[in-house]
Amino acid sequence: MDETKGRSLTRREFDAVIRRAAELASSDPDAAEGALTEAEVFRIAGEVGLSEGHVRMALAEVRSGLDDGGGFLDHVFGPALIRASRVVPGTPDKLSQSVDEFLVSTQLLQRVRRTGGLLSYRPAEDWASQVARAASFSSRKYFIASARLVEVQIEPVSADRTLVQLLVDPGTRTNDVLAATIGGALASAAAGTGSAIGLSMLGPLAVAVPVGALIAGGVWSAIFFGTGGAHRRKVRDVQAEVEGVLDSLESGASLEPPPPAWRKWVKRHFHGVALDILGEEEGKTAKTGNG
């Protein structure tokens, strides 16, 4: 009998063993190649005593490229795609229905694909949805509603726990990169040329040209990195909105947004009149709630 199998390990030793085993497996040319779904990752992590929160954070870092530093544009403008995942209570069927109703009815998205646990959406193109979406922008930026693509993947983890993964393509990074590059180039060329001409009138041309080039480079950098910073803030807003949806699913709260303030005010102040303004069913609710 191998006595090493019966020994206990501390958490630090366990982490070191798992990390080293993964390194050995990745360096072994004879090791079988395979892929795990995120649901399987959560299931295995639970079996070895790792918390869902830590696994979720690790997945977020891996998916966003933070583990390998990311690329230049990722650092300046943020990732092109927003990803988030959460293990939430509920069955895949019920969660699919809830998420689908939320994205179609409140975010004005159009379902383009639904196969198994994968749902894909894009902004609805009918005139009514476009008008409603434009009106909603007056009070808030609905990033999910205006995203180029939204994908939802739903996989069971256990009998009553399900992994929900959201991928959102805001479709904004390419435009911002082009605007920063072209706009920065035009502005820097104008600033550099003007500076060089002005300085050449005051001193040697050999000095004016390099100084003009430095000024042009500074203007381009300011515009490019300034635009990148603004886009990173957009990315954080999108990420916050996506995480908010997952927060609601995790807590069991409704995905429906609260009623607008004007509707609450009518119910509170007009009671019976709300029957005519809000409709029979909501008027009854208003009477009951205030009665």
Q: Express each pLDDT in 255-280 by its tens digit.
A: 876 655 555 554 555 544 444 544 54
Residue 178 has a pLDDT of 92
CA nearest neighbour of 238 among 174, 106, 145:
145
State mean pLDDT over 232-254: 88
Measure the CA–CA gap between 120 and 102, rounded to whole angstroms: 13
Residue 205 has a pLDDT of 65
Residue 9 has a pLDDT of 66
Mean pLDDT of the chain: 75
* 246 domain residue, yes or no: yes
State mean pLDDT over 30-52: 71
State mean pLDDT over 159-177: 88
| Angle of CA points 206, 212, 213, to nearest 5° | 95
Q: Do both 269 and 226 map to the same domain?
A: no
Residue 66 has a pLDDT of 43
State mean pLDDT over 77-97: 88
State mean pLDDT over 114-142: 70
Measure the CA–CA gap between 242 and 79, rounded to whole angstroms: 14
Domain that holds residue 206: 175-251
More confident residue, 237 or 278: 237
What total number of domains does the chain contain?
Answer: 2
> What is the chain's Cα-based Rg?
27
Q: Do both 193 and 244 map to the same domain?
A: yes
Residue 48 has a pLDDT of 72
Q: Do both 247 and 266 map to the same domain?
A: no
Q: Do both 245 and 276 map to the same domain?
A: no
Q: Do both 185 and 247 map to the same domain?
A: yes
Q: Do both 247 and 275 map to the same domain?
A: no
* 181 domain residue, yes or no: yes
> Would the pLDDT of 226 be above 50?
yes
* 189 domain residue, yes or no: yes
* 104 domain residue, yes or no: no
State mean pLDDT over 127-151: 69
Give the model's confidence band at 29: pLDDT under 50 very low, under 70 low, under 90 confident, else very high: low
- For residues 199 and 207, the answer to whether their CB atoms sit within 8 Å is yes
* 107 domain residue, yes or no: no
Q: Do both 229 and 197 map to the same domain?
A: yes
* pLDDT 10s digits, 188-202: 788 777 776 776 777
* 170 domain residue, yes or no: no
> Would the pLDDT of 151 be above 90?
yes
* 23 domain residue, yes or no: no
Residue 120 has a pLDDT of 93
Q: Do both 246 and 269 map to the same domain?
A: no
* 136 domain residue, yes or no: no
More confident residue, 11 or 79: 79
> Would the pLDDT of 152 be above 90?
yes
Range scoring the smallest mean pLDDT among 74-78, 134-138, 209-213, 235-239: 134-138
